[in-house]
A and B are shown apart, each in its own frame.
Chain A
Amino acid sequence: MIEIAIATEDALSEAVLETLVQHSGRPVQIAARLRRQGFGYLKSRMASFHQMAQWRPVLVLTDLDQAHCAPLLLRDWLRQPPAPNLLLRVAVREIEAWLLADGEAFATFMGIDPGKVPTQPERLPDPKQRLLSLVRQSRQRDVKRDLLPAPGSRTVQGLGYNEQLIRFVRDH
């Protein structure tokens, strides 16, 4: 068993990496989960990840967000040639696009028409907004209530946004 560390910017991304590692079929075990809210922490710790990668593989996942393109982000973050066991991966634009990529499963989970899920989520300028607008069409009351802001509230998302999407990641 190879022990690796994963570093992510939120609980949802962490769940996605866990699931990917689990389904990779490789003899890999996650021995450390590094996470603070937001990408700033990841970026500021890149030097530590470099050092760590000398003895334990490190898999880092961040969102591209509004940055211009992934190669530029990689160059900006890595500065030096990465240690062979430091893997930095970038979700274009953000992790929500990866969830939408499994259109059929997502449609089933939300109880919506699969035809409505965009087929090329990486081209979406704001995958999270698109995901939320799909949720609005959902017939699942509890899922909607968790994911969407309360009526009248001015927040972007609901209180159970991460919990519901993590459930989707793990179960589908």
Chain B
Amino acid sequence: MWITRLKLKNWRNFKQIDIALWDRVYLIGPNASGKSNLLDVFRFLRDIAKTSGGGLQKAVKDRHGITKLRCLQARTDPEVAIEVALAESLDSAAPKWTYAIGFKSEGKGPQRLLLNYERVSHQGQIVLNRPDADDQADPARLTQTHLEQINANAGFRPIAEFFASVTYLHLVPQLLKYGDAIGGKRLDDDPFGQGFLERIARCTPRTRDARLKRIQTALQVAVPQFKELRFVKDEVNGHPHLEAFYEHWRPSAGWQREEQFSDGTLRLLALLWSLLDGDSLLLLEEPELSLNEALVEKIPLLLDRLQRQARHQRQILLSTHSEALLRNPGIDGRGILRLEPEKEGTRIVEPDEAEQRMMETGLSAAEVLLPKARPARLDQWALFK
């Protein structure tokens, strides 16, 4: 399933947006323009829909409450609204599903977070339209979405499952390497560190071995002297680990554990794993980090080739600052969304006709669009005079 359209109102730094999404979406823009906030919409829907520990209240609470979530520019309208359209294929004119919610603080008494509405349509037919008579009789029902309730979402279970299986990846190598030393609280389905190893551990041995084998082949090309990759469980405490074997090192050096991998190796490994893992929407935060430019340049082709295998067909949204990542003149300009911060919140701009025509001449997105994603007045930038 593909998300073909996204509408937001008062979501973080987006006051009002309505955008079309393709199978590959590249988000570009200056720092703090809202790239991660945009990816967070889909994590938010996942947090509502996931079967364990999900729900609207928790999803909002994890984001430090509605006052932090709501767009600062939303002065008179307190409602936050999200609407997505989903289709079976990107070519289909009409969406198969739409899901829309609006919610706000109660505005009195205990200031509960309440749904203003929740609507689902399937092939143009309304499947759910809240608040309904039950909600009016018992407003406490409006603290929960039907999306998060198994016994209420039967009529639109496919989209609940789709949202619940959205994958987000932003591996921070240091969290994985120094996980034990840092300690502290871990996030649910932690996308940043140790959770990554657990995700690998949860996989059935057969699938895991098959995936690691493919990743090993890829790493042998990308990482000099890299030879073998294997998954092990610590004999003493049972913790999952990845181990690698390198050529030309002292023979006695043996297998290296993930804490000895380079940052780039770890990030690349996590990227490759996440591409092979699952078939739902995949969100990637700056996949270029720590990677050699020549590798980064290959990412769009890697994603496209993956797409050709039915088993791994999935929509991918990624944020990037990388010139190398957008250098391939084959990148479809329709998939590039530029975030432009303005006084009234961030705007999302698709390539216009002139820009598309520039790319038709063989210019790459890096040449045509990336310069526009630079912060204005940077030529005057300096810390010291």
Instruction: Show the binding face of A for B, using Cβ within 8 Å.
Output: 37, 142, 145-146, 149-150, 152-161, 163
Of A146, A156, A159, A163, most buried by chain B (CB within 10 Å of CB) is A159
**Residues of chain A contacted by B107 (CB below 8 angstroms):** none
**Residues of chain A contacted by B362 (CB below 8 angstroms):** 156-157
**Residues of chain A contacted by B152 (CB below 8 angstroms):** none
Among B330, B334, B357, contact of A159 (Cβ-Cβ < 8 Å): B330
Inter-subunit contact A154/B308 (CB<8 Å): no
**Residues of chain A contacted by B357 (CB below 8 angstroms):** 154
Inter-subunit contact A142/B361 (CB<8 Å): no
Inter-subunit contact A154/B360 (CB<8 Å): yes
Q: A37-B327, A149-B332, A150-B332 are in contact. Are A156 and B361 (CB under 8 A)?
A: yes
**Residues of chain A contacted by B329 (CB below 8 angstroms):** 155-157, 161
Is B333 an interface position by the 8 A CB rule? yes
**Residues of chain A contacted by B301 (CB below 8 angstroms):** 146, 159-160, 163
Known: A153-B333, A160-B305. 7 other contacts (CB 8 A): A142-B308, A152-B334, A155-B332, A159-B330, A160-B301, A160-B330, A163-B301
**Residues of chain B contacted by A159 (CB below 8 angstroms):** 300-301, 304, 328, 330-331
Distance A24 CA – B361 CA, assembled complex (angstroms): 35
Q: Please, which residue of chain A has its CB at the minimum distance from the CB of B360? A: A154
Q: Please, which residue of chain B has its CB at the minimum distance from the CB of A155? A: B330
Q: A159-B300, A160-B305, A163-B301 are in contact. Are A154 and B359 (CB under 8 A)?
A: yes
Is B356 an interface position by the 8 A CB rule? yes
**Residues of chain B contacted by A161 (CB below 8 angstroms):** 329-330
**Residues of chain B contacted by A149 (CB below 8 angstroms):** 330, 332
Q: A145-B308, A159-B304, A163-B301 are in contact. Are A153 and B332 (CB under 8 A)?
A: yes
Inter-subunit contact A153/B334 (CB<8 Å): yes
Distance A146 CA – B301 CA, assembled complex (angstroms): 8
Distance A142 CA – B305 CA, assembled complex (angstroms): 9
Distance A37 CA – B331 CA, assembled complex (angstroms): 16
CB B355 to nearest CB in A, in angstroms, measures 10
Inter-subunit contact A160/B332 (CB<8 Å): no
Q: Please, which residue of chain A has its CB at the minimum distance from the CB of B362? A: A156
Distance A160 CA – B304 CA, assembled complex (angstroms): 9
CB B183 to nearest CB in A, in angstroms, measures 43
Query: Which 3 interchain pairs have the tightest Cβ spacing?
Result: A159-B330, A153-B332, A159-B301
Inter-subunit contact A157/B308 (CB<8 Å): no
Of B300, B334, B357, most buried by chain A (CB within 10 Å of CB) is B334
